[in-house]
Amino acid sequence: MAERLRNWAGNIEFGPARVHRPETVEEVRRIVAGAERVRVLGTGHSFNPIADTPGDLISVAGLPADIRIDRERGTVSVAGGVRYGELARALDAAGYALHNLGSLPHISVAGAVATGTHGSGVGLGNLATAVAGVEIVTGGGELVSLGRGDADFAGSVVALGALGVVVRVTLDVVPAYRVSQHVFERLPRAQLDAHWEEIAGAGYSVSLFTGWRGDTVDQVWVKRREGDAPAPAELFGAGPAGGARHPIAAMSPVNCTEQGGVPGPWHARLPHFRLEFTPSAGDELQSEYFVARADAVAAFAAVERVRDLVVPALQISEIRTVAADGLWLSPHYERDSVALHFTWVPNNDLVLRAVDALEAELAPLRARAHWGKVFRRAPRLPRARDFVGLAERLDPRGTFRNAFVERHVWAE
């Protein structure tokens, strides 16, 4: 009987015929060469069946981390299944850093990269933009290396697992830096519209949390690099928090990264949650949509038009920014973006009603969904057909295709 697996949120039960946990790249190659259909599982932080398969499911968590820093090239090479929090600590100990981190340090490098997952910052690209090279086991069990500058590279990074098993990733690194984090509360909603660009650019990384329920934004988290201008006493009418905060006001901040302006290592401030704690609010679902940053105010109005459906399904919503990139399947392809993130209650009916309403309202703004979260309408991207061509060259048997990618990429 096949092993029963669920994703991190528990809303997806995978249905593979076999589950594999290889400990070497050679094992991965043998498994793939002998399989008809394969998908790959990282840490299972996606909220949809992107990793599911009726065939063979490969977890890459057991591959040795084998973290290698190349000081001359300014890169680090690491196994794809390594979690960002673990990589970050190793880098920091060696005096290096990544340009950005996501809200959770618990996600795997290959999984985050494959779905275009991101942190926040008007000048910061998503996590995949740090990728300088990938090593992929393709459909026949071949090991293929692609690096920045290669013709197919821009299509091979945000690839949804449809090209093969990413066993190794090379990332750009920068010198280690320190960050402080300030939280401001009760930003007047009118000020968000009037001063959106200034608020979004108030720090190296900025996140706003709101329940879309009233005339204020609940919290603004501003993360500043050491040496930047000091934090203001107030932010367009939002005052400093009187203590540590969780994005969901009713929850304890014990699992959140340190606030109050205390400087600390980059990896202990850029994520919202600490690696040593489980970050979940409990059972939850998540969705996220990206529109052009220039359309942010229009997007806020779109959400408010359907708040009667959004609010009953919502735990908290986060607003953040991501810089444009040139990666073919990236939701931020050639577009500076504002991200509208929704952490939902675990009620599928309520969530899908809210998702349908949001997608209808955001459609005129050409919203693009996050590949790893709950959505109905796939993001329409200019290079999607080029990606399909690349996948059919690297994987002509369709070994790594599943119902999810066929519906959301091949059928588009």
Cβ-defined contacts of 292-297 (< 8 Å, 24+): 292/335, 292/336, 292/337, 292/338, 292/365, 292/366, 293/122, 293/200, 293/321, 293/335, 293/336, 293/337, 293/338, 294/336, 295/338, 295/365, 296/196, 296/200, 296/338, 297/193, 297/196
Sheet holding 165-172, edge to edge: 68-70, 75-79, 165-172, 131-137, 143-147
387, two tokens: 């990606």
Dist CA 148 CA 167 (whole Å): 17
Give the pLDDT score at 1.
47
Give the pLDDT score at 281.
47
- Assess contact for 302 and 133: CB atoms under 8 A: no
Nearest to 371 by CA among 395, 404, 401: 404
Give the pLDDT score at 283.
82
Other beta carbons less than 10 A from residue 81's beta carbon:
26
- Assess contact for 183 and 245: CB atoms under 8 A: yes
Dist CA 380 CA 366 (whole Å): 8
Give the pLDDT score at 177.
98
> φ and ψ at 388, to 5 degrees?
-60, -45
Dist CA 391 CA 152 (whole Å): 10
Number of Cα atoms under 13 Å in the Cβ half of residue 282: 10
Nearest to 101 by CA among 339, 259, 275: 275
Give the pLDDT score at 290.
98
Dist CA 380 CA 319 (whole Å): 21
Give the pLDDT score at 279.
62
Nearest to 192 by CA among 173, 170, 168, 209: 209
**Mean pLDDT, each 10-residue run in order, the chain (412 residues):** 80 95 98 97 94 97 97 98 97 98 94 96 98 97 97 97 98 98 98 98 98 96 94 96 94 94 97 81 86 98 98 98 98 98 97 98 98 96 97 96 97 82
Nearest to 203 by CA among 180, 187, 185: 180
- Assess contact for 17 and 24: CB atoms under 8 A: no
